[in-house]
Structure 1
Amino acid sequence: MRVVVTGGAGFIGSNYVRRLLSGAYPAFAAAEVVVFDKFTYAGNRQNLDPVAEHPAFRLVVGDVCDDDALRRLLRADDIVVHFAAESHVDRSIDGSAEFVRTNVMGTGALLSAALHAQVRKVVHVSTDEVYGSIDEGSWPETHPLEPNSPYAASKASSDLLARAYHRTHGLPVCVTRCSNNYGPYQYPEKIIPLFVTNLLEGRKVPLYGDGLNRRDWLHVDDHCAGVQLVAEHGRPGAVYNIGGGAELTNRELTERLLAAVGADWSMVEHVPDRKGHDLRYAVDITRIATELGYAPKVSLEEGLAQTVRWYRENRAWWMAIRGAASRS
């Protein structure tokens, strides 16, 4: 058996690969692991350094929109875990073309190649942002898709493509929709690594609007554990929400990060709110909990402390990223 991981050099994909090759998922212990990654700005070879010499690891550099490359890569015994995506909302507001290309056309190319190869299963990794915003309660998987950002719209489109390939062709594909991820190796454009690295450098952090937007926080280890359960036991055609059960306003999150690095509110700069900023996300995890036994294990307190410590101890990793970004 092979596990082909698209976007496996990114934040979540590389975490999944490292855990897979470290033996965290016994059912896949004997699997060959193939990472397929284009190495855009958010893909980092250093993320894979801990497993680069593993005998079961193989790296293939390629574009998820490249039909021919995907058809050469995939074969019938593969389980495909599809992380490859453009994922930063702010970038999608500035320009949506790359999001449509990668998230929609790239997913379409992958599904077509998977069907041609007759793979064992595809797990398409998506986001809770496809549901829109919710004032109270939480979304079940049956909730209509009402995306509000170009990023979320591109992911909703890819989810519907996955559904169509299952319904039309019988492709064994599952969709996962996660809440906000955090943890080590996250590219420092997302709120937690951005705020932590800014504060470690003595720079102010930009808080959107009044800071009352609410998010459910999911440690990347818990997210990957949920993805693995779906890869092993998920019903083809089903959608599974994966949440962390740790809901905070952005203001509350900021307060925790300030305390973690010994800073105070004078380090916060209020900036104009983002266009179309969803007020609140919350997913109902009943389905994955009852069907597959999922439950988040990393508490927010533990996870944030671990994450801040990782960025404190791995300054060279994120300084190199910032240096590359400033030169581009």
Structure 2
Amino acid sequence: MSTAAGTPATIQVDHLTRRFGEHVAVDDISFLVPAGLMTGFVGGNGAGKTTTMRMIMGVLGIHAGQVSWGDRPITTADRRSIGYMPEERGLYPKQKVAQQLVYLAQLKGMDAGSAKRVVEEHLERLGLADRAGDNLEALSLGNQQRVQIIAALMIRPAALILDEPFSGLDPAAVDAMADLLREHTARGVPVLFSSHQLDLVDRLCDRLIILSGGTVRAQGTPDELRGSAPRRHRLGVVGDAGWVRGTPGLHVLDVDGPQAVVELSEDDPAEQQRTLDALLSEGVRRGGVTELTPIIPPLSDIYREATA
């Protein structure tokens, strides 16, 4: 059965390509934004994030590939049900905050009473209730960002496509925004947002897509991406750890007195475990092991390795 417009559904991007003249901005990329999950879109300037979001939303034409909504190609009606926050902000600086949000909600089909009620609720949630009667231009850039976020969230969207939604927000606003997004994913809404804040993406996202040069370099859950990274351990021994150099199955990345950082060179998990067992036994034989701890790579390390 086909997914109805306005019903949350997985967004599927298949072999999407976009060129600007001779420049290929997005080059044959494929990924999923699963229903009910928060997906982070990370990459440097010019990686293709904004161009991809614009193609999903129909703002830019697609030169090759397809965007699907559930089990069928996405339609204009589907796109109308998506809460979209573009890179360029689209609110009116000389209009009052609540007034224009109510107007935008009515354009999306809400009656006046419902629009007023939902706008007041979101202004309260994001700490802007006392600025409802101010012109947008009187607000700080961070507070203007909050208003733009409300414009995307207040329509009970079937999906959310957000380009740098956390830019300029203080920690309290980030937490409030994250809570709001989680409420939407809890009812099955797929969320795709881009950000340069890798620690924030790491903390919030169920899935990650790493773009560089218009191509997908890595994607998956945080655990899957970490699992694909080289397995590194911190070794602490009694005495000098220099003896680890030349140990079969290891790349020694650093030795500093009794401490060493090593990387397992074998791909097979059983071989990796045998290497660790042998390393531990040799350390005990040489005087004692104080630490043998796996190093959990931060997203920043995974990102650098994927885009190198």
TM-score, reference length from structure 2: 0.29
* Higher helix proportion (structure 1 or 2): 1
Pick 1 or 2: higher relative contact order, CA cutoff 8 A, min separation 6: 2
* Higher strand proportion (structure 1 or 2): 2
